[in-house]
Amino acid sequence: MRILVLALIALLAAVPASAAVTPRFLGTGHDPGVAVDSAGAAHVAWIGETADGQEVAEYCQVPRRARTCTVRRTLALTDWGTGKAQVMLGPQPGAVLVLVPVFTEPALLFRSTDNGASFATVALGEFLAMERAVYGPGDSISIMNGGTVGSAFGRYGLDGSGPAGPSVAFGDRIESLDRDLTRHGAGLAAFLGSGGGMRSILWSGLGDPNAQASWVEGPRLNGNRTSPTPATGPSGTFVAYVDRKGRRSDTFVRRLRGRRYLRARRVSREDPTELALAQGPRGDLALVWPDSDDTWFARSRRGRRWTRPRRLVRGSEPGDVQAALGRRGGWIVWDGDAGNLGDNPIRLARIPRLPRR
């Protein structure tokens, strides 16, 4: 009997803590973005083209328990899209914002007030590429550029008012190959990562964010710290990053409180090339990262203690992973290619909810 019990314990220990979820196939294109509404539905957008070669942005809405798009819209672009498609949800019920950078032309903002049933088009400033767009503070959109150009920023009203292009420069392309942007308190925080360290640049919410003088240097972490990805919400502002020391590599998450970092929390000993951090409206967090074959994740209630890494998706060529959390769990979306072009499968998968206490 004792041998049987020991054998059963060994078998249970060999079972993974979380079975991999089966991703949904949404279409083809590149550089998808995702947001989650209060009902748990995923709002996804990506850049693609029609059968006759017309460049478009595809919008798809997947309810929490559905496997396919229940709302699908094709939005025309004026030229080919560059950088990452962005999806944001406004505070008003039914407000959906899809933002797409367009090569050598103004970025296009598609606005819906009826939960994606119809969209109006507004032209913003010209961004050669786009890494992140953030709704707010206020009724505005803040944009961090991407690609191989130097990191820069611009803020726009939903009516298209704002600068002709990026108005604030944060760093050249060498010191800011990895970059991201998030809300922080009443203002914003930008993060730049490279082999020479990780910088933060802060706007307090006072003064014109399109003026260089309104931004100040925040805390810096020296060393080979890359892939910064931030998230903000009820638990505060957090940033995840990869810290490489010789042959050792660790993934950490820190909270940015005001203008200083709190204690680093190690989440993984892996060496991912990209990270996706999301915070939900209840303050819970999820960190997602791909390796060469699979996609992994860890969860935290408030950012202090993290679950052990677990496999989220097996296979499916992870790359360009984006994540978002809602009140009922979350979603990740990816295209399987780290570049900003191509006709790749767009896939969507759920992030499991944290277990109840």
DSSP 242-294: EEEETTEEEEEEEEEETTEE---EEEES---S--EEEE-TTS-EEEEEE-SS-
pLDDT digits (tens, 9 = 90+) for 75-93: 999 888 888 999 999 999 9
According to the model, what pLDDT value does residue 336 have? 79
- Position 83 in a domain: yes
Q: Tokens standing for 312?
A: 């989220």
Q: Tokens standing for 37?
A: 């509404």
Distance CA 125, CA 105 (A): 8
**Cβ-Cβ contacts under 8 Å for 51 (sequence gap 6 or more):** none
Q: Tokens standing for 352?
A: 């499991």
Question: Whole-model pTM?
Answer: 0.91
For the beta carbon of residue 306, count every other beta carbon within 10 angstroms.
18
Q: Tokens standing for 228?
A: 């910064």
- Position 150 in a domain: yes
- Expressed as residue numbers, the domain containing 264 is 23-351
Task: Supply the mean pLDDT for the chain.
Answer: 89
The region of weakest confidence among 31-35, 145-149, 195-199, 319-323 is: 145-149
The region of weakest confidence among 123-127, 147-151, 194-198, 299-303 is: 147-151
- Position 9 in a domain: no
Distance CA 263, CA 336 (A): 33
pLDDT digits (tens, 9 = 90+) for 213-265: 999 999 999 999 999 999 999 999 999 999 998 888 999 999 999 999 999 99
- Position 18 in a domain: no
Distance CA 311, CA 103 (A): 37
- Position 68 in a domain: yes
Q: Identify the CATH number of the domain in which residue 209 sits.
A: 2.120.10.10
- Position 17 in a domain: no
According to the model, what pLDDT value does residue 6 have? 38
According to the model, what pLDDT value does residue 186 have? 96
Q: 172: pLDDT confidence band, cut at 50, 70 and 90?
A: low
For residue 88, give the amino acid letter: M
- Evaluate if residue 338 carries a pLDDT over 70: no
Domains in the chain, number: 1
- Position 2 in a domain: no
The DSSP line for 181-236 is EEEETTEEEEEEEETTEEEEEEE-S-S-TTSGGGEEE---B-SEEEEEEEEEETTE
Distance CA 256, CA 263 (A): 9
- Position 3 in a domain: no
